């Protein structure tokens, strides 16, 4: 089967706000969500800045008795999933529950819970470990908890492919609907890794920006003076539906998902391949699966992490695939405002890309003061841009050389 799949709901939790509207408005305004770390004392850390979610109250989404039974990444996932479902208007009941699935990802999962429970073990011995430790920390419990709360009895899955994880989740959910195994999927990802081990680990790799005195200027994709990514947190969840079902219930359609690619660099545990081969092939695969060409794309939401190698090689890959057409494509990195949300990035950015198509607006790349001479594309600097967007692509690349690309098309009704 080759059924058409559309986005009918979007739920976002980011450093720009809780809820899709807050995140989208913040992005279009070029607002920065990066600041000093407040979740723990980061005084001794090389990187002391992050894109934290502010003002999040889990009690708005989870019963008080259950809050401590879940890691924060699960709280974020539930909030985003409930937001997406409400936005969609999708009602799950006995008549359709087995045809609605959940596919949620995370790159790291319950780091905060693992750190806390390990401390309890050290201080009090094994009897001090919570019986909820494992179901609070493991990655697939985000999908499990969302499934329980929404009553979705279809496929229930999770991907763990580093920073491409939730892009893969959205792509695989799209394929599940396309082949007829479900009629709707709640798909995306969540992350809450702004913890001592999370920040300390990435800092030890020298992957993080140490522009601690200028947090608002620290995440600067494609800029010559970029020095690493800024760790972020949050969740991005989409409701994907088979087109005819969405039409029957009169659902609003943000965009149609028309293409998906997944490749591997087979090169290095953290670095992208030096010729951008994996990125070139994954974008080409997404286009080919949609029956689209390089001339069809107007906007790319780049992976754009603000690390020296990623930005340069993603730019090279786009220019290699699109050739002269690359100069006519708006390419922006919303990580400049919300940081790098790791395993949640693909879900958040898929939602942003759907919103870009729906509103015909390209969100900007901020902090692009001194363009890197090796990054020669149109990065939509500083200000959002109104533009005709028929096709838009979202790129996500992860440690281990795993790549994902999603292609969305404006829905013409």
**In this structure, what CATH number is given to the domain that contains residue 71?**
3.40.47.10
Residues 138 and 242 occupy one common structural domain: yes
From residue 370, alpha-carbon distances to 91, 318, 342, 381 in Å are 49, 20, 26, 11
Residues 308 and 195 occupy one common structural domain: no
Torsion of CA 24, 260, 52, 314, to 10 degrees: -100
Q: What percent of the chain has pLDDT over 70?
A: 100
Q: What is the pTM of this model?
A: 0.98
Q: Tell me: the pLDDT tens digits for 233-269?
A: 999 999 999 999 999 999 999 999 999 999 999 999 9
In this prediction, residue 207 carries a pLDDT of 97
Q: Tell me: the pLDDT tens digits for 34-60?
A: 999 999 999 999 999 999 999 999 999
The last residue of a domain, from among 192, 219, 248: 248
Report, as an integer, the average pLDDT of 295-302.
Answer: 98
Catalytic residue among 28, 168, 303, 375, which?
Answer: 303
The last residue of a domain, from among 188, 219, 248: 248
Q: Does residue 216 lie in a domain region?
A: yes
**Burial label, 1 (beta-carbon count in 10 A; 0-12, 13-18, 19+):** exposed
Q: Catalytic: 163? A: yes
In this prediction, residue 413 carries a pLDDT of 80
In this prediction, residue 345 carries a pLDDT of 98
Residues 85 and 232 occupy one common structural domain: yes
Per the listing, tokens 């980061």 go with 42
Q: Tell me: the pLDDT tens digits for 135-165?
A: 999 999 999 999 999 999 999 999 999 999 9
Q: CA nearest 306: which of 193, 189, 202, 168?
A: 202
Residues 67 and 103 occupy one common structural domain: yes
Domain count along the chain: 2
3-state secondary structure at position 128: helix
Structure tokens at 43: 């005084």
**Is 198 a residue whose pLDDT tops 80?**
yes
Residues 65 and 149 occupy one common structural domain: yes
The last residue of a domain, from among 196, 228, 248: 248
What is the rounded CA–CA span in Å between residue 369 and residue 358?
29
Residues 125 and 206 occupy one common structural domain: yes
Catalytic residue among 75, 163, 168, 375, which?
Answer: 163
Q: Tell me: the pLDDT tens digits for 50-86?
A: 999 999 999 999 999 999 999 999 999 999 999 999 9
Structure tokens at 115: 């750190």
From residue 269, alpha-carbon distances to 94, 109, 265, 272 in Å are 45, 20, 10, 9
Q: Does residue 254 lie in a domain region?
A: no
Domain around 202: 5-248
Report, as an integer, the average pLDDT of 364-391.
Answer: 98
Residues 207 and 292 occupy one common structural domain: no
Residues 243 and 271 occupy one common structural domain: no
- pLDDT category at 203 given cuts 50, 70, 90 is very high
What is the rounded CA–CA span in Å between residue 237 and residue 354?
12
Residues 208 and 288 occupy one common structural domain: no
CB 163 within 8 A of CB 303: yes
CB 339 within 8 A of CB 232: yes
What is the rounded CA–CA span in Å between residue 218 and residue 228?
8
Report, as an integer, the average pLDDT of 282-302.
Answer: 98
Q: Catalytic: 303? A: yes
Residues 131 and 184 occupy one common structural domain: yes
Q: Does residue 143 lie in a domain region?
A: yes
Q: Does residue 214 lie in a domain region?
A: yes
Report, as an integer, the average pLDDT of 391-400.
Answer: 98
Residues 232 and 278 occupy one common structural domain: no
Q: Does residue 253 lie in a domain region?
A: no
What angle, rounded to 10 degrees, do the helices at 308-322 and 277-290 form?
50
Q: What percent of the chain has pLDDT over 90?
A: 98
154-187 burial code (b ≥16 CB/10 A, e <16): bbbbbbbbbbbbbbbbbbbbbbbbbeeebbbbbb
Report, as an integer, the average pLDDT of 262-280.
Answer: 94
Residues 19 and 76 occupy one common structural domain: yes
Q: Which bin fits 360, alpha (ψ -120 to 50), beta or left (φ > 0)?
A: left
Q: Does residue 342 lie in a domain region?
A: yes
Bridge partners for 51 per DSSP: 232
Q: Does residue 23 lie in a domain region?
A: yes
Phi and psi torsions of 396, nearest 5°: -145, 130
């Amino acid at each position: 089967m080759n059924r058409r799949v559309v986005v009918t709901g979007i739920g976002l939790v980011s450093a720009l706000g809780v809820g899709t509207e807050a995140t989208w408005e913040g992005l279009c305004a070029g607002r920065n969500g990066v600041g000093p770390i407040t979740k723990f004392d980061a005084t001794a850390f090389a990187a002391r800045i992050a894109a934290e979610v502010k003002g999040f109250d889990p009690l708005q989404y989870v019963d008080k008795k259950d809050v401590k039974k879940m890691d924060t990444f699960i709280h974020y996932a539930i909030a985003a999933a409930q937001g997406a479902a409400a936005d969609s208007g999708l009602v799950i009941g006995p008549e359709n529950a087995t045809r609605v699935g959940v596919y949620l990802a995370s790159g790291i999962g319950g780091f905060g819970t693992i750190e806390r429970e390990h401390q309890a073990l050290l201080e009090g011995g094994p009897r001090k470990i919570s019986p909820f430790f494992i179901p609070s920390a493991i990655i697939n419990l985000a999908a499990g908890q969302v499934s329980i709360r929404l009553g979705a009895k279809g496929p229930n899955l999770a991907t763990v492919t580093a920073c491409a994880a939730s892009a893969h989740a959205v792509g695989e959910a799209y394929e599940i609907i396309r082949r007829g195994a479900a009629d709707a999927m709640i798909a995306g990802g969540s992350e809450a890794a702004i913890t001592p081990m999370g920040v300390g680990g990435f800092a030890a790799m020298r992957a993080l920006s140490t522009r601690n005195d200028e947090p608002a200027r620290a995440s600067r994709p494609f800029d010559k003076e970029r020095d690493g990514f800024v760790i972020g947190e949050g969740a991005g969840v989409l409701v994907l539906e088979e087109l005819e079902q969405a039409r029957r219930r009169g659902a609003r359609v943000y965009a149609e998902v028309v293409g998906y690619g997944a490749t591997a660099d087979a090169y290095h545990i953290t670095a992208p391949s030096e010729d951008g081969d994996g990125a070139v092939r994954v974008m080409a695969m997404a286009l080919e699966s949609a029956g689209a060409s390089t001339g069809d794309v107007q906007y790319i939401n780049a992976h754009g992490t603000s690390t020296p190698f990623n930005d340069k090689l993603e730019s090279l890959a786009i220019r290699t695939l699109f050739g002269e057409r690359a100069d006519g494509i708006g390419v922006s990195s919303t990580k400049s405002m919300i940081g790098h949300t790791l395993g949640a990035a693909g879900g958040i950015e898929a939602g942003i890309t759907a919103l870009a198509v729906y509103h015909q607006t390209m969100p900007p790349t901020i902090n692009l003061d001194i363009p890197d001479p090796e990054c020669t594309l149109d990065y939509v600097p500083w200000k959002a841009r109104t533009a005709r967007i028929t096709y838009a692509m979202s790129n996500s690349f992860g440690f281990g050389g795993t790549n994902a690309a999603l292609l969305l098309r404006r829905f013409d009704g």
